[in-house]
Amino acid sequence: MDLPAYAIEAEGLFKTYPATKTSPEKRALNGVDLKVPRGSIFGLLGPNGAGKSTFINILAGLTRKSSGTVRIWDRDIDVRPRDARAAIGVVPQELAADVFFTPRESLEVQAGFYGVPKSERRTDELLRALGLTDKANAYVRQLSGGMKRRLMVAKAMVHQPPVLILDEPTAGVDVELRRQLWSYVKGLNDLGVTIVLTTHYLEEAQELCDHIAIVNRGEVVVSEPTATLLRRLDIRNVVVTPEEPVLSAPLLAGFETKLRGGGAFSVSYRTGQSSVEQVLAALRAEGLHIKDIATEDPDLEDVFLSLTYGDPAAGDPTRD
């Protein structure tokens, strides 16, 4: 059997929530067209309320779409709903624990739900992979939040789905747990599992994902390989360390400046309009003596703000 080129395909996907007594009609998804390449680590990013969770809930069979088509592992969710859902494992954002079960019991019950024969279950393997072996027989209610998060990942993998969806998997977890979780996820990806990730940690998405889609107001703004996406902005920063530390960033005509730590500051310019030499000339004109300079390329946060809120130099209005 030939493997599909895309793990997930959505075409013309709409979701409209009807009006209620307390709220008007809301369109959560507005004609989403999205293809997730098989074998990728795919980042699904967007502001709060952009439609990411609605999209994931439709994939998981928790929300009915209004119109459009969706295929998971080449299985139409309307024609083969059970087969489509069997092809994905979903780790939701909210912690949902079976507090009266142990981790081992929880995995066994989950495997039973998916009809996995006892001889094919991988309970101990999953407990070991997620660092839960020593807690295998403790009640779930006794686990820390990070351990519960790891257990949810294990539950999503009991039926060995070819697609794993992680909705904010590292929200509220410490750095070490985050590192362990990503090590496991990258190992799964190396084995051929397609990973779909939503996260508010943009540096995390930039490091992990080889393809990223940005969703805003229920529409896909862009869906590109990460490297291509990062080349979209022509903004560059020159970080200047002056001989004498400054308390405020100098005003330079035609450039935006921002104070950095240690008495340094940055100067932003557009490569199509200016150059580093012009930045240096403006600094010399102000009589500034430079100890060191470094250049910075735009990161994913700059691109994200540009595509969802406009000019990245304007900042993120959600932080006001």
Domain 235-297 has CATH 3.90.1150.150: no
pLDDT higher than threshold 60 for residue 311: no
CATH of 6-230, one of 3.40.50.300, 3.40.47.10, 3.30.930.10, 1.10.10.10: 3.40.50.300
pTM of the entire predicted model: 0.77
Q: What are 187-219's pLDDT values in tens digits?
A: 999 999 999 999 888 888 989 999 999 999 999
Going by pLDDT thresholds of 50, 70 and 90, the confidence category of residue 161 is very high
- The residue ranking higher by pLDDT, 172 or 177, is 177
pLDDT of residue 274: 83
Q: What is the DSSP string of the chain?
A: -PPPSEEEEEEEEEEEEPP-SSS--EEEEEEEEEEEETT-EEEEE--TTSSHHHHHHHHHTSS--SEEEEEETTEETTTSHHHHHHTEEEE-SS----TTS-HHHHHHHHHHHTT--GGG--HHHHHHHTT-GGGTTS-GGGS-HHHHHHHHHHHHTTT--SEEEEESTTTT--HHHHHHHHHHHHHHHHTT-EEEEE-S-HHHHHHH-SEEEEEETTEEEEEEEHHHHHTS--EEEEEEEESS--SSPPP-TT-EEEE-GGG-EEEEEETTT--HHHHHHHHHHTTPPEEEEEEE---HHHHHHHHHHS-GGG--GGG-
pLDDT of residue 9: 98
Structural domain boundaries in the chain: 6-230, 235-297
pLDDT of residue 48: 87
Q: What are 222-260's pLDDT values in tens digits?
A: 999 998 888 776 678 899 999 999 999 999 988 989 999
pLDDT of residue 1: 64
